[in-house]
Amino acid sequence: MRLIETVEGKARILLPDPSEYERDGRFDPAWSPVFYNPRMIFNRDLSVVVVSSISPKSVLDVMSATGVRGIRYYLESEVRGEIIFNDKNPVATELITKNIASNGVEKARVERSDANSLMHRVKVEYTDLDPFGTPAPFLQAAVSSLRRRGVLGVTATDLSALEGKSRNSCKRKYGAFCNKLSFSKEAGLRLLLAKIAMEASIVEKGIHPLITLYRDYYYRIFVRMEDGAKKADNTLEKIGSLYECESCGYSFMGKGFCDRVCPVCGGSLRSMYPAWIGELADVEFLGKVKELLPRFNYLENFPALFKLIGSLTSEQRYGLYYRLDVLSSKLRRNMPSMEEMIKCLGDATRTHFHLQGIKTSKEFHEVLECIKSSSHG
């Protein structure tokens, strides 16, 4: 296996030379003997900043591949406690060992276990779960691997299931009743949070979302555990349903599950259940991340990180987003510009979920009136 070196953040990582695994001039990271995906650098950059804000005394990078995440947590998040690296693939663990040594990571431990088995054996303050596709089969063990008030970082790339495009897959993996909603990017994230909350509640833990987001083709979630049966019960209170009217486009969240009609126009409702109906982030924690961000101005993604944290902070005051393109088309109007809409509504913001998405505290009829008055032609 020929190795090449890449620099990511402050780490220098050896990885299998992708050119050896190309097929018909194309390369997919999954074809390499050890997985490394440059399209996930933003995910890792953000994680480095978040882990720095959490400042955990012990870390489990349970699906390490090259070890790049855990190594960056040591070099950039300045984790000084034990970092456990794990991968079931022996080629990966051999490479992790090399990468740890060349980056001078102290207090590192390399395991070659099945992720679930290892997560049931260890207790750490931060666990990073970064699987291929769905994290569902690992969530129960991931939650169990955390010490009191520990934090779980999860990546999910199975957006077609979570967003309700593959309804059966969504049902199988998340035990959810799924539908395609116009705000599907947020719906999928809320479905995943509900799944994590339900898995946590089994072991008498509640969850408190610190930062959750959608980007490119994945979700990234950071949740703090709140220990105890009462906290778990309180968390379950934040699980409900998402609704969207097929006729007028009104959308809302509610507790429990119902198949009532649209309260605005009497049209039939599409729904998704179970979904997280609580907060998607902790504004105080976002503030802490923002304060720490300047320390990471050496990252290429620094401006994008800054923008994202800003968006997440302004979005937290509002509920579900509306799609201007969808509502304008229902009204048979040209889509107004986002600037005009925000000005007309007064209290509204763009959302990181969708370019045409808008969040507002205003009533649905006010959104429709603003589309009508701001639309040209």
Ligand X SMILES: C[S@@+](CC[C@H](N)C(=O)[O-])C[C@H]1O[C@@H](n2cnc3c(N)ncnc32)[C@H](O)[C@@H]1O
If binding is defined by CB under 6 A, does position 130 make contact with ligand X? yes
Extract the tokens encoding 139.
Answer: 């969530």
If binding is defined by CB under 6 A, does position 210 make contact with ligand X? no
Alpha helices in 67-213 (DSSP H): 68-75, 90-102, 115-121, 139-144, 159-162, 167-174, 184-202
Which one of residues 115, 159, 358, 371 is an interface residue with ligand X (CB under 6 A)? 115
Q: In angstroms, give the least distance from the CB of 127 to ligand X.
A: 12
DSSP assigned state of 23:
B
Nearer to ligand X, 87 or 186 (CB): 87
If binding is defined by CB under 6 A, does position 44 make contact with ligand X? yes
Q: In angstroms, give the least distance from the CB of 116 to ligand X.
A: 6
Beta pairing partners, 15: 4
Extract the tokens encoding 107.
Answer: 């207090």
Other C-beta atoms lying within 10 Å of the C-beta of residue 19: 9
On whether 370 is known to bind a ligand per the annotation, the reply is no
Question: How many residues interact with ligand X (rule CB under 6 A)?
Answer: 19
Q: Please check whether residue 243 is in contact with residue 269, taking contact to mean a CB–CB distance below 8 angstroms.
A: yes
On whether 178 is known to bind a ligand per the annotation, the reply is no
Q: Please check whether residue 269 is in contact with residue 287, taking contact to mean a CB–CB distance below 8 angstroms.
A: no
Q: In angstroms, give the least distance from the CB of 90 to ligand X.
A: 10
Stretch in the footprint of ligand X (CB under 6 A) among 60-68, 98-106, 289-297, 358-366? 60-68
Stretch in the footprint of ligand X (CB under 6 A) among 59-67, 222-230, 303-311, 365-373? 59-67
Cα 252 from Cα 242, distance rounded (Å): 6
Q: In angstroms, give the least distance from the CB of 323 to ligand X.
A: 31
Q: Please check whether residue 164 is in contact with residue 105, taking contact to mean a CB–CB distance below 8 angstroms.
A: no
Q: In angstroms, give the least distance from the CB of 56 to ligand X.
A: 17
Q: In angstroms, give the least distance from the CB of 43 to ligand X.
A: 7
If binding is defined by CB under 6 A, does position 142 make contact with ligand X? no
If binding is defined by CB under 6 A, does position 40 make contact with ligand X? yes
If binding is defined by CB under 6 A, does position 97 make contact with ligand X? no
Q: In angstroms, give the least distance from the CB of 164 to ligand X.
A: 23
If binding is defined by CB under 6 A, does position 36 make contact with ligand X? yes
Cα 377 from Cα 332, distance rounded (Å): 10
Q: Please check whether residue 183 is in contact with residue 122, taking contact to mean a CB–CB distance below 8 angstroms.
A: no
Residue window 76-95: x/- pattern of binding to ligand X, with contact defined by CB under 6 A? -----------xxx--x---
Reference 181, options 133, 239, 245; nearest CA is 245
If binding is defined by CB under 6 A, does position 65 make contact with ligand X? yes
The residues, ordered by sequence, that sit 6+ positions from 98 with a Cβ below 8 Å of its Cβ are: 14
Reference 15, options 84, 67, 86; nearest CA is 67
Nearer to ligand X, 211 or 358 (CB): 211
What's at 95, amino acid-wise?
Answer: L
Which one of residues 1, 132, 297, 355 is an interface residue with ligand X (CB under 6 A)? 132
Angle between helices 68-75 and 41-54 (to 10 degrees): 40
Edge-to-edge strands of the sheet including 58-61? Answer: 108-111, 82-86, 58-61, 124-129, 146-156, 218-227, 205-215
DSSP assigned state of 229:
H
Going along 122-268, which residue ranges are E strands?
124-129, 146-156, 205-215, 218-227, 239-245, 251-255
If binding is defined by CB under 6 A, does position 197 make contact with ligand X? no
Closest-CB residue for ligand X?
Answer: 63
On whether 69 is known to bind a ligand per the annotation, the reply is yes
Q: In angstroms, give the least distance from the CB of 363 to ligand X.
A: 43
Which one of residues 114, 227, 325, 340 is an interface residue with ligand X (CB under 6 A)? 114
What's at 192, amino acid-wise?
Answer: L
Which one of residues 16, 69, 74, 239 is an interface residue with ligand X (CB under 6 A)? 69
Cα 173 from Cα 156, distance rounded (Å): 12
If binding is defined by CB under 6 A, does position 8 make contact with ligand X? no
| Binding-site residue ranges for S-adenosyl-L-methionine | 44, 69, 87, 114-115
| Binding-site residue ranges for Zn(2+) | 245, 248, 262, 265
Which residues are near ligand X by CB under 6 A?
35-36, 40, 44, 63-66, 68-69, 87-89, 92, 114-115, 130-132
| Binding-site residue ranges | 44, 69, 87, 114-115, 245, 248, 262, 265
